[in-house]
Structure 1
Amino acid sequence: MHITSTARRLGMAAITLVATATAALGIATPQAAAAPARDPILFVHGWQGSASNWDYMWGRFLGAGYSVREIARFSYDSSQSNEDIALEMKSQVDALRAKTGAAKVDIITHSMGGLNSRWYLKNLGGLGSVDDWVSIGGPNHGTEVANGCLDVSCVEMRPGSAFLTDLNSTDETPGQVNYGTWWSPCDEIINPDESTILSGAANTRTLCLGHLSLLASATVFEGVRNFVK
C-alpha cells in the first residue's frame, strides 16, 4: 500500500511538472471543444420555393451576430411527398449538428416547410434534436388553395387530407420543443388564415402581410429572432 501511494504521488508530481513546463514555453494545453453558445438554425422553405426565399432573414441573422457556420438553408423538390422531404430534413439537421457540435438546432420554416418539419419531429426522431421550431404562414391545418394543384405534397396540404389528419392527431405540438407560429390575416395562400395556429404553440398574429411578404418583414424577423434566442 505504501509503494502504491508513493507511486501515485510521484505520478501526480510528474503531471504537474509537465503542465508547468508547457505553460512556461507558451504551449497551449489541449481542451475539449466548447458547446455552441446558442443553437444553430436550419431554414426550410415552402412549396415551389427555394433556399433564396430566406435571403432577407439570412442577412438579418448575420447582422444580428450569427455566423455563416451557425445557419443553414437548402432547396428541395417540393413535388415529392412531405414524408420524403422530412427525410432530407433529417439529414440536414444531422449535418448541421455535426458541423457545429450542437446538441440541438432551431428550425425556422415558411409555408409547407412547417408540415414536413413537423413530420420529422413527430415521426423521424426529431424531438430530441430540436429546441425551437417556427412556422411562418404554415398550412398546418390545410389551405383551400391546395384544392387547385395535383402534386403529392400539395394534395397533402388540402384541408382534411390523410396526411394532415395523421400529422395533427393526438398532439399538435409534441415533446419538449418550443413551438411558435406567425400568421397573417391577409395571407392570400393560407386560407383560412388561422390554419397556421397550433394548439400548444405561441401563436402570433402579424400585420396585414402577404404570404411572401412575411419573410421580408422586419417585425416578423424581430419576433422570430427573440423566440429562438
Structure 2
Amino acid sequence: MAFADSPTAVEASSDVDVVPPPPGADNWSCKPSAAHPRPVVLAHGTFENRWDNWFALSPRLAEAGYCVYALDFGRSLGGTISGVGPLRVSAQEISDFVDRVLAATGAQQVDIVGHSQGGMLPRYYMKNLGGASKVHTLVGLAPDNHGTTWGLIGLPITLAPPVTNAVCPACTEQLPSSDFIRQLNSGGETLLGVRYTVIASKFDEFATPYTTAFLNGPDVDNITLQDLCPGNFSEHMTMPADPVTIQLVLNALDPEHKAPIPCGFGTGAAQIR
C-alpha cells in the first residue's frame, strides 16, 4: 500500500466515506444561528478517523447550538484509518471540505477544532491554500505544530523511513526536521485575523515534547491542562473526550460566554479560561 504522490494515494484519499460521522455532526441542512454564526469543522489526528476522535466533543458542540461537520482525510485501509496520507494532499481535502461547509451553510467563515495532526494541518491550509480568510478560530488539541519525535513509537519511525513512507507518509512529514514542518513555520507561526487556542498536556506521549504544540504570535492562547487542573492526567489520546478540554474548546469558540473549567475531584478550583 503506497501513498507518496502516486495516483493510488489520491484515489485512496477520495474514497466514499465508510466511517460514519460522530453524533451531532454532518447535518447538511443545519443553518448557523446568530449566537453561533460559524460552523465548526472537526479535524482528526494521525491513525484516527472522524468518529473515534470526536464521539464526545461533537455532540457537545451540537447541543450547544453549533452546526458541526467532521471529515476523514489521508485515508487508508479502505477508509477506516485516516490521517496517514501525504500532508499536502490531506490539507487540500480540508480545503475542499471547508468550501463545501461554507456553501451548504451560507456562512462566511468556519471555526476549526483539530486534534494532533488535525490541529497542525489547518495552518498549512490557511497559509498555503487560501484558507486564512475562511477561518476565524483554530483550536488545537495536542497539535504537533513544530513536529513530533513521536514519543513511544518514535524509534521505528526514525529508523525505518522507507517502510514508514510506504504506509504513513504523514508520519515522517511530521518529524521536526521535515521540510513540511520547516516550511510551515517559516516566516511566522500565525496569521493576522485568525484567533488561535492551543491546549496541551504534560502527559502527551505522541506529540513530543508536549511543548511542540505552543505557537508564537498574536492572538494565541497557549494552555497546559495541568497548569489549570494539576490533577488532570489526560494524555494525547484521551484529550478530545476530557471534560476540562471540552469546556476549554467551548470557551475558545465563544469567548464572550465562557464557563468555569471543571477540574473536579478536588484537584483544583473551577476557574474561567
Same fold (TM over 0.5): yes
1:114 shift after superposition: 2.1
Q: Does 1:202 pair with 2:202?
A: no
Verify the 8 A CA contact 1:147 1:155 in the aligned structure 2: no
1:36 shift after superposition: 4.5
Verify the 8 A CA contact 2:112 2:137 in the aligned structure 1: yes
Q: Which amino acid aligns with 2:124?
A: W
| Percent of aligned pairs with the same amino acid | 32
Q: Does 1:168 pair with 2:168?
A: no
Tell me the equivalent position of 1:6: none
| Aligned counterparts, 1:60-99, within 5 A | 60-66=60-66, 70-76=67-73, 77=75, 78-99=83-104
Verify the 8 A CA contact 1:36 1:102 in the aligned structure 2: no
Q: Which whole-Å CA distance do the structure 2 matches of 1:196 and 1:106 have between them? A: 18
Verify the 8 A CA contact 1:57 1:216 in the aligned structure 2: yes
Provide Cα deviations, 1:184-213, integer angstroms capped at 9, x if missing partner: 000111111100001022101013311111
Gaps of 5+ in 1: 1-33
SS at structure 1 position matched to 2:170? helix
Q: How many residues are paired up?
A: 193
**More helix per residue:** 1
Which contiguous aligned blocks of 4+ residues in structure 1 show a shift greater than 6 angstroms?
none
SS at structure 2 position matched to 1:117? helix
Tell me the equivalent position of 1:49: 48
SS at structure 2 position matched to 1:144? coil
Q: Which amino acid aligns with 1:157?
A: Q
Verify the 8 A CA contact 2:111 2:136 in the aligned structure 1: yes
Tell me the equivalent position of 1:219: 244
Q: Which whole-Å CA distance do the structure 2 matches of 1:114 and 1:147 have between them? A: 23
Q: Which whole-Å CA distance do the structure 2 matches of 1:90 and 1:104 have between them? A: 12
Question: Structure 1 residues 132 and 147 mapped into 2: Cα distance closer, same or farther (>3 Å)?
Answer: farther
Q: Which whole-Å CA distance do the structure 1 matches of 2:114 and 2:156 have between them? A: 23
Verify the 8 A CA contact 1:135 1:182 in the aligned structure 2: yes
Q: Which whole-Å CA distance do the structure 2 matches of 1:163 and 1:140 have between them? A: 11
Q: Which whole-Å CA distance do the structure 2 matches of 1:129 and 1:205 have between them? A: 27
Tell me the equivalent position of 2:118: 113
* RMSD of aligned residue pairs (Cα, Å): 1.5
| Aligned counterparts, 1:114-193, within 5 A | 114-145=119-150, 146=154, 148-149=156-157, 150=164, 151-193=168-210
Q: Which whole-Å CA distance do the structure 2 matches of 1:210 and 1:96 have between them? A: 31
1:147 shift after superposition: 5.2
Verify the 8 A CA contact 2:32 2:39 in the aligned structure 1: no
TM-score (norm 2): 0.68
Q: Which whole-Å CA distance do the structure 1 matches of 2:113 and 2:155 have between them? A: 26
Verify the 8 A CA contact 2:202 2:224 in the aligned structure 1: yes
Verify the 8 A CA contact 1:82 1:115 in the aligned structure 2: no
Q: Which whole-Å CA distance do the structure 2 matches of 1:148 and 1:162 have between them? A: 20
